[in-house]
């Protein structure tokens, strides 16, 4: 999006993925545990909220190794940089934004960050906010290099762990990424997004985890479902997380359809009439068909009347016997 390359990055971006893998957090052990495609995810489900958001907060960190006056100076200057950063990112999102001016101002901001980090080379928050900015302007590899430096300075920043996990996942390295996600969850157990990220990674890269030999199918299933369930419990008003938990029953190696029906039923009670409720009824009907409860499925499908859901409804109707006594 923004073709920038500040001077400081030149020596930091070489072999980033290899360094990330080599310095990944020690694995937190996965828990040990004694077909028809589902309807597509509905359009009403918005993206889950990334805690970095559009506006960047000044991260808390342990800077006890720096004198108090240096911390005060570094924090004050960084607050100014973050304020500029947030203003520019917000402006770039507005319709009709003057992108030429915004790009120029972001380029200036990047060079100011470069100068800042040369002045305060051991102040981890500066690397965090700079790294997040680089990611938001499309410089993913450079962002990872800067965030890796933040991680070296302070290994207890969950946002950094999450962002480094994102980079590795994007680079096709889910086995390395999961340790960063697990570390983020461990450091910030009450942040639902980190649990959600872990669940998504295990879902989308399931085959990679199985091939690695480090995870069994049962471990993947339990960790994935626990992650989605924690996210849903921590943010009960966020339908994204509850939907992800209910949807996760499709991915289990050993189906638990009765529990899945309860999850979809609980979600239906919380969503708006129309598209939302009827989408969830499609899922419930799909599960009833898997359980061979055809009459119950047919009754439920008859309540799906929204036009955009008719193709999915028909796919399920086609699976029903012409006449069923069940």
In a domain, 303, yes or no: yes
In a domain, 30, yes or no: no
Per DSSP, 271 falls in state S
Domain count, the chain: 1
Structure token pair of residue 5? 């390359």
Q: Do residues 304 and 278 touch, judged by C-beta distance below 8 A?
A: yes
In a domain, 89, yes or no: no
pTM of this structure: 0.84
In a domain, 298, yes or no: yes
pLDDT in tens, the chain (326 residues): 444 444 444 444 434 444 554 555 654 444 444 345 565 555 555 556 677 765 667 776 656 578 888 888 999 999 999 999 999 999 988 989 899 999 999 999 999 999 999 999 999 999 999 999 999 988 999 999 999 999 999 999 999 999 999 999 999 999 999 999 999 999 999 999 999 999 999 999 999 999 999 999 999 999 999 999 999 999 998 999 999 999 999 999 999 999 999 999 999 988 889 998 999 999 999 999 999 999 999 999 999 999 999 999 999 999 999 764 44
Q: What are the Cα distances from residue 202, in Å, to 96, 153, 192, 221, 284?
A: 39, 29, 16, 8, 24
pLDDT of residue 49: 67
Distance, in Å, from the CA atom of 256 to the CA atom of 201, rounded to the nearest integer, reads 21
Q: What's the domain range around 265?
A: 255-326
| Residues 6 or more apart whose Cβ sits within 8 Å of residue 252 | 221, 225
Q: What is the largest CA-CA distance in the chain?
A: 80
In a domain, 47, yes or no: no
CATH of the domain at 270: 1.25.40
pLDDT of residue 68: 86
In a domain, 294, yes or no: yes
């Amino acid at each position: 999006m923004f073709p920038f390359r500040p001077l400081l990055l030149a020596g930091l971006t070489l072999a980033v993925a290899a360094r990330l893998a080599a310095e990944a957090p020690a694995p937190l052990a996965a828990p040990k545990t004694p077909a028809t495609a589902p309807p597509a995810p509905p359009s009403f489900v918005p993206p889950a909220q990334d805690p970095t958001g559009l506006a960047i907060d000044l991260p808390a960190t342990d800077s006890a190794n720096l004198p108090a006056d240096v911390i005060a100076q570094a924090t004050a200057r960084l607050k100014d940089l973050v304020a500029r950063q947030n203003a520019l990112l917000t402006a770039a999102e507005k319709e009709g934004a003057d992108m030429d001016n915004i790009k120029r101002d972001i380029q200036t901001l990047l060079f100011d960050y470069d100068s800042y980090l040369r002045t305060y080379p051991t102040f981890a928050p500066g690397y965090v906010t700079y790294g997040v900015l680089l990611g938001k302007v499309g410089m993913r590899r450079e962002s990872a290099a800067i965030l890796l430096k933040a991680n070296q300075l302070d290994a207890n920043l969950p946002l950094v762990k999450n962002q480094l996990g994102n980079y590795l996942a994007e680079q096709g390295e889910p086995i390395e990424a999961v340790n960063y996600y697990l570390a983020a969850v461990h450091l910030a157990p009450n942040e639902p997004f980190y649990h959600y990220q872990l669940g998504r990674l295990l879902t989308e890269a399931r085959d990679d985890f199985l091939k690695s030999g480090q995870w069994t199918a049962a471990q993947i299933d339990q960790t994935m479902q626990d992650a989605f369930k924690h996210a849903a419990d921590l943010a009960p008003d966020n339908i994204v997380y509850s939907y992800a938990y209910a949807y996760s029953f499709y991915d289990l190696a050993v189906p638990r359809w009765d529990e899945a029906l309860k999850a979809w039923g609980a979600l239906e009670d919380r969503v708006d009439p129309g598209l939302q409720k009827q989408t969830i009824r499609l899922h419930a009907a799909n599960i009833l068909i898997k359980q061979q409860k055809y009459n119950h499925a047919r009754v439920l499908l008859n309540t799906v009347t929204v036009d955009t859901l008719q193709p999915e409804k028909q796919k399920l109707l086609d699976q029903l016997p012409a006449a069923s006594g069940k």
